[in-house]
Amino acid sequence: MTGDYSKIYVVLNDYLVLLTNNKIIPPVNTEIGGFSPISFKGDRFDKTFFMVMSRIFMDKNKVTDFNNLIITQNISSVNKPKKLKKVFEKIVDDLVSDYKDEIKDEEKLFRKFKEDSAFLAYTDGIDEKLYKKGKTRIFNFTTVPIPATDAQQKTDLTNLYKGDPSLINKLETFERLEGLEPVKGYSLIIKNQPNVDLFTFQDGKNRLCL
């Protein structure tokens, strides 16, 4: 079972490598806007704007709405040295044209990638990657109590939850998340649950529990 879980991680990581190598997604540590466009040119700020606006700009009505939101009525009458509205609309039109070319190239890349055997191995062939043929897994379970162990299981469950929490009457210092000051408090141990500690402390007027 442990090996099966590990296999899932390996397969997913291999898939991530495949997507990265084929430039479907950028490396995981890439800064915002740090992807590599096919035809669109610009710095990471231009590319960030592309990520946000490109699909919106594929709709002519939304392009018009965008222009009207920027060039409002009180500045649309500016005509010197050039008519501001026309200058802005020309810039947006050129940008839309560049975006259309990039999206067209990206969709072509995606279609080609989805037909590649390497990608199909993670869709049509995912079962084979995760579980090799011929390997049978059988899980037997029941919700019916087993008479031979029923009494002991009931005792174990009762012992697990019975009793009141006990307080270790010793003032201790507890480290908190990075950037937060350490705090002093007491350990509260829940009986029959040896790995569970509750730490309480006074923070200003409030008593908190960690």
In a domain, 176, yes or no: yes
Distances (CA, A) of 52 to 10, 41, 46, 48, 87: 32, 16, 10, 6, 22
CB of 152 within 8 A of CB of 140?
no
Residue 172 lies in a domain: yes
Please report whether residue 127 resides in a domain: no
Of 8-22, 60-74, 88-102, 122-136, the least confident: 122-136
In a domain, 11, yes or no: no
Same domain, 41 and 109: yes
Q: Which residue has the tokens 């965008």?
A: 66
Closest by alpha carbon to 182, among 201, 156, 207, 195?
Answer: 201
Per the structure, the count of domains in the chain is 2
Last residue of a domain, one of 87, 115, 143: 115
Helix (H), strand (E) at residue 2:
helix 2-21
Task: Single out the residue of 81, 57, 83, 85 nearest to residue 71, CA to CA.
Answer: 85
In a domain, 13, yes or no: no
**Does residue 76 sit within a domain?**
yes
Q: CB of 103 within 8 A of CB of 54?
A: yes
* Residue matched to tokens 């049978």: 136
Residue 150, domain member (yes or no) = no
pLDDT tens digits along 163-191: 655 555 666 776 766 666 777 666 656 55
pLDDT confidence of 60, banded at 50, 70, 90?
very high
Same domain, 37 and 106: yes
Domain of 42?
23-115
The size of the chain, in residues, is 210
What is residue 157's predicted lDDT score, i.e. its pLDDT?
A: 75
Beta bridge partners of 189: 166, 197
Q: How far apart are CA 159 and CA 191, in angstroms?
A: 9
H helical segments located in the chain? 2-21, 44-53, 60-70, 84-114, 117-120, 126-130, 147-161
Tens of pLDDT, residue by residue over 114-147, are 888 888 888 887 877 777 666 666 777 777 888 8
